[in-house]
Each structure stands twice: as C-alpha cells, then as structure tokens.
Structure 1
C-alpha cells in the first residue's frame, strides 16, 4: 500500500517536471523513478510510470527507448507471474534487438523468453531458446551469458529428472562463473550441485559443494543464504548418518531464521530437527518440534493470505483514487459548461445532456465495481477465517493422533522398565492421561469457530439454555461434520464414549437420531 501511495505522489511530481522539460529528459526522469520502484519490488507502481513514459516515447516514435521499456515491462510481468504479458514484451524486445544486431542483449532476450516458457511448463520450447542463447554466446566469446545458458539448461534437465545431464551443465556454469569472479552466482550453483549430488546419494560430493557455498555466503555476509546453505549441509549429514555434525548447522540456520523473521527458513530448520530427533530417538523432542513446525507452517499460510488481501486492498485504493480524480475532472468540466450555458446553442445543450448521462452511467458502473471489490475483500477475509479454523482442526487431529502413537510407545517403555524402575509408573501414567484438547486450545478453537459461525453458540443458548460446556463442545465439533473417531481423538475419550455422549445429548434435547445432524447444521 505504501508503494502505491509513494508512486502516486512521485508520478504527480515527476510528471509536472517532465512536461516542463525537454525530450528525452522528461522520459529519463520517469524511467528513473520507475527503475527505483522496480528495484523495491513495487511492481504495480513501476508499471504505471513506465506506461506514462511509453506514451511520450510513442509520440516521438523512438524505437530504441520503446525497446528499453518493453524489456522492463516484460521483467515486471515475469516477476508478477503474468507470463503471457511477459512473453509479449520480451518478444517485442527481441525483434528490435534482431534488427539492430546487439549480441549480448539478444542473448539476454533469448534467455528471458526461455525462462518464461520454462515457467509455463513448455520445457522443449524453453530448451530451444537456451540452446540458441548458448550457441550465440560461444560464437561471441561471451562467457557470462554462456554460463547463464548452461545454468538454465541444467535446470531444464533437473526438472526432467535427468540429474547426470543437469550436473554436467551446472558444473560448466559454475566453472565459468568462478573464472569470472562471480562468487555469489558460483556459490548458488555450488549449492544446487550439492542438492543434485544428494538426490543421487553421492553424499561426499554433496558435502564438498555445500561447504563451498556456505564459505562464500559467510564471507559475503548473506545471512539468508547462510541459513539455507547450513540447512542443506545439515540435511546431507543426516542422510549420510552423521547427526552429530548436522545439529550445530541446524541451530545456526534456525537462529538466522528467527533473527530475520523468515518463516520459510525456520520451516527448513524444523524439518531438519524432526529428522535429527527421529534418528536420535527422542520422542519428547519430536513432539515439541512437530508443534513448532505446524505453527511455522500456519504463519507462512497466514502471511500468504494476508499478502493477497493487502494486494486486493491496494488495488481497491488505487482504483478509488482514479475514480476520485475522474470525478473531479468531470465536475470541473460541468462547472465550465454551466458558466457558458447562455452562449451555447441547442445542439451544445443536447451534447452536454448526453455527456451528463454518460457520466452518470459511468459512475454507476464504477460504483458497482467498487462495491464488488469490497464484497470480494469481505469474502477473502471469511475464507481466511474458514481456512484458519480448518487448519487448526487438522492440527489438533494430527496432534491427537501423534499423542496416541506416543502413548502406545510410552506403554511399551512402561512395560520394559516397570520391573526395574517401579517409581516411574505414576509419572508415565500421568503423561499418558494428559488432556489432548486443553482449555486454552478449546478457547482458541472456539474463537476461530465463532469467526466462521458467529451466531452458533448464541442460537444454541437461546434454544437450549441448560447446555453444559461439554455438550456445547460436542455440538460444535459435530457442526464441522467430524467423524466420531476424530472427535474422540480431539477430546481424549473413546469412540464408544462419544456415541454415548451423543445419545444422552439427543435424549436431553428430545431429538430423533435421523434429525440430529440436520438440526445441528441449522444453528
């Protein structure tokens, strides 16, 4: 949202300056602002200003500047996952380059188009463009773009699961980048090569490449990449049966993830912790890590949903601003028309009436669109609450199943040690009888449930004012169409007990068994 407002203000300032300036300075000033916003990932704002610049350039028929803007608009569309739009601009840019014979720019255009095809899963078309880019780069002794072509060909073979061919091309790309002193690019390739070696279980080679990447990232102080490289190396150690070497690396990766607030880095670390504790056979730690991993996954999903809602809100605010500007412009036009009303002819009066009618219809259409967007935002928020409730329910069911599995394992351990350490029996029994759906978890669950079904509990109390908390809980879980087995797992009782509780509840509420689900669904 802040980028939209910033770009709107900058557009007014720069446009005011550019119309007073001479060409091409006016276009250069607009492109400078657009470039700045593009680098800050404010793609919608950058695109708006690039189009403003394009309108000026088209009037001048400056094909060179148009090509430059086509390439920029293609890059924005690519990062916004609008691949048809990206393909259109990249193809226009490539046709211009073909006519003017700029070798390195031509190779760059080929690689960009190949990348779009690859994201669209047109793999063979992508390979054709990458091969052509490689041939032109080698012909022109352009090592940098040859390395990029090798890298993209390596990714192509990786997607096709032809790992040996992928390794050959990735190693060639790595060697060239290392020769050119492109340490960061070389380190990222080394990391990919390490992953490839890990997939074919050549762990020693994988370790060498992950260590190489980690050293470069630490030297460059790229903390995000250090965390990923540490976890990649830790994963190889775990797969190769060396958990003690993996633990410090996982600790480092998680520490950076928490410091930077990156949930994706934390997720990778917790997944490695889960594998580590499974190998070292520490069930208590496994349970703790599973809880943390589920929480991080929930945070990632909430982050994604929030970002989508923010994008919709930003688009809504932008359209609203455009509508206000249009309304002001139309109001000004009407004021001028009223000042000259006595001087215009009958024909002009008729034109004004037609214009006002058009304006009225235009405002109705725009207001309808704004209302639809507001309804869409409300719908998105409801879907978010509904998803959070489902996620929380799934998490509780998963946790309950895990507790049952651990109880089974604890029962086995109890049988093994009961003769040697009888004093442990009470502690183990207490652990096995721990409540699965705690009071705090139920309150959080009830909060989410109320957001999705806001009138449920009030309607229940209004119809049946003598319900207990346990009966309310049973009716809420039934509302979600959970099976008796799932309800039993969440509450911590047997399926038989759930059936008895439902029977007593139906008897108390005087409800027939065949009408129970329909009545619960009606609240």
Structure 2
C-alpha cells in the first residue's frame, strides 16, 4: 500500500514538473517566433516599409493567438505588442491614414497603462499627438498630447525622447507662434547635437531645415538639410533620404533655381517608387509640376500635374482631388490650346447667338418686372406695416429665450464647478477623519452626473425655443443621432469649448474629443471640416 502511494506521488510530481517544463519550453518558442518577426520588421523599417508593416501586423496577430498568457513572459509580450501598435501608427500616419494612425497609437497607450509600462508612454503620446493634429485639425489638442509626452519623458529622464518631442512642439507652434516655435526647435537642436544618435540628428536637422525655409532663412535651411541627407545616406535610411531629396527640390525652386529643383524631385520620385510609398508620390509630382511652371515649361508642368491627379484618385482621396482639380485651368499651355481649338470657336459662336436671344427676352421681362415691382412696393409697404410689430415681438421673444438658455447653461457650469469644489473638500475630510459612512454617502452624491435627465429635458426645451426644428432637421437629413450625440451637437451649437462641455457632461476633455472623433466617423464628415457646419450644410 505504501509502495503504491509512493509510486502515485512520484508520478504526480513528475507530471507536474514535466507540465511546468513544457510550459516554459512553449514560452521560449513563442518568444523566439515574436523576436524573429520583430527583427524582420526592424530590418525593413527604412528600406521596405510596406514589408515592415506586414511583419508588425503579424506580431499582433501572433500574440493575440496565444491561448494562455504565461506569467513569466506576460509583460514581455505586452511590451512587444504595444511597440508594434506604435510603429504601425507611424507607418499609417506616413501614408496619410490619419484615422487609423490615431486608433493604433491609442491602443499602444492603453496596453502600457494597463500593464504598468508607464515609462514607455512618452513615445506613444508623441505619436498620438501627431495623428490627432491631422485627424482633428486642431493644433491645440495636439500640443496638449505633446505636453503629456514631455512630462513623461522628463519624469523618466528620457532625453532621447525629449529632443524629438521638442522638435514636434516647434512644428506645432510654427503656424501661429514663431517665438515658441523657435524656442522648442533650438532646444531640440542643442540636445541632439550633444546626445543624439545619427538617426535622430538626421531627423531633427531635416525638421529644423523645414521651419527655417518657412521663415525664409534659406542659407541656414540648406546647411541643415545637407547635413540631414549625409546622415540619411550613412544610415542607409531610404525613407529619410527620399524626404531630404524632396525638400531639396522645394528649396531650389523657392530660391529661383527650379532646374536644380527638378533634378532632386525626380530622384525623390524614383526612390518613392522603389519604396512603394504610394501615399506621398502624388505630392512629389505636384511639386514637380510647380517647378516646371517656374521655368515656363507648361507642357511638362501640365503632364506632371495630370500624373499627380491620377495618382491622387488612385488613392481614393476624391475630396482632395476635387479641390485641386481646379488648378488645371492655371496652366497657360492648356489655356492657349483651348482658345485656338475649333471646338472653342464653335462654342463661342453658339454662345453669341444665345446671348442675342436672351437680350430680347430680357427687354420684355424688364417691362413686366417694372410693373410688378411698382405693385409689389405698394403691397409690400402694407404688409410690412402689418408684420412690423409682429416681427418685433418675435425678436423680443427669441432674445428672451436666448437669455434663458444662456442663463441655464451658466447654471450647469456653475453646478459643475460647485460639485468639483465639494469633491475636493470631501477628499480633504477623508484624509483628516478617515473612511466614514457619512463621507462615503456624500462621495456617492458628488459622483452623480452634472447633466441629469431632468436637466437635459429643461436644457433641450430651452435650446429648441432658440433653435426650433434644429434636431428635426438633422433627423430628416438621415443623421440618426443618439441622445448623447444630440447633447454634444447642442453644446457645439452654443459655441462651448472642450473644457466647458467636459465640465457639463462630467467627463474628461479626452473623452469629449474622442466623442467628436467617433461622431465624425459615423457621419463621414471630411477631414478638417467642423462637424456642426457639415451637419447643417448636408
């Protein structure tokens, strides 16, 4: 009996040990496979970005396929997956897929926050900021994300990240605040010169050259751009080299040497084709068209523009293509060609005959119009007298309704501020007296939403008095808005800013911006177009 028990115990222990060994072996095998895919992605990152993207998506799929996360390597896989999402966001942004880039950056952030990888957040906030600037067309929101990235980088003393964040802040401020823009760019250059890698130096020099060119400091711009290109060649960074050649093409066209610019732009286009960078090729042809136009070669200018237009349509960027299609008429070569064509002469003759006929009709219409105007003036005078008092009364009622709506909105904001103050006081009481039932009950009270069901009904009634038929009009247009979306649109109609909306709805500013983003996607609003304006126009 004892012997049997010993044998059973021995085999039980042996089975447990074998199972543990098997789990560790599987763990190692999965790690090797993920490392292999990660190495392939890194190897192709600068020379074949389309392949790098493929391997990064395979990493995400492979990690998601792991049935049981093993504790020994769990955070390893989480870190790799977060990194994969980060770099995928970079590639999607470079290909102008800004919506997807923003989503991927947020996924990277979510993984890092959920698994205690806070020290790695700076790079993800940085990437999210770049995507958000393009998605929401808002420098203010992008700068907020960049400042978050700056705080994390400073906290963990990540100077390598800081120099890149400073460069992005310089770019973000470039359009509106020259002083802040140059302050951040100078910080970036000083840091990269002292501690940056060759790869970082190339990127920062290129960014700095672009802002110097925008500020017309062409001499300094060329110096930094040439330094960047030398480093890109040294690093065998073909993506960076292509951007540098493109920037050189723009530079020489801007300084009055378009022939030299054409040479560099053609080199950039050849490299784009080799890299399969379909998202940026159209804009290289657009710049080439501008350079040909600068030397008076309108035939080549028009041909380059047609290629740009064709490639843009191939990317299904129909909205952008329509806007820029109007530029075709700007080419003198085509204008002269059309003027000299037989079709143009024929259409001109037909137009003259139509104009003669229209002139005769207009003379008759003029007589009838004068008669109608005289009668209309008399009738109009009488009608105005009747409706003048009514219009004044309606205007006064509308002004009263507007004031009531404004007062009620202020009450909601004041209610929010009072609740925030109460919450802070409760936290102080809690720290002083500890957990007590009465304090808990008060905390539950302060956790309630600012805009209650009754508040919303009152708000909606007052809003409808000022803007009658507003929501019905949107529904008739086919926009099936939820109650929360109606609230957001109503706040936008009142021109409340992000902070005020967040305060009234008792949510974060980030949540307000994400709600805007989801609504933009739902109604297919074009990039850069204000949501409210799009809803009211369509």
Q: TM-score, normalised by structure 2?
A: 0.47
Higher relative CO (Cα under 8 Å, sequence separation at least 6) belongs to: 2
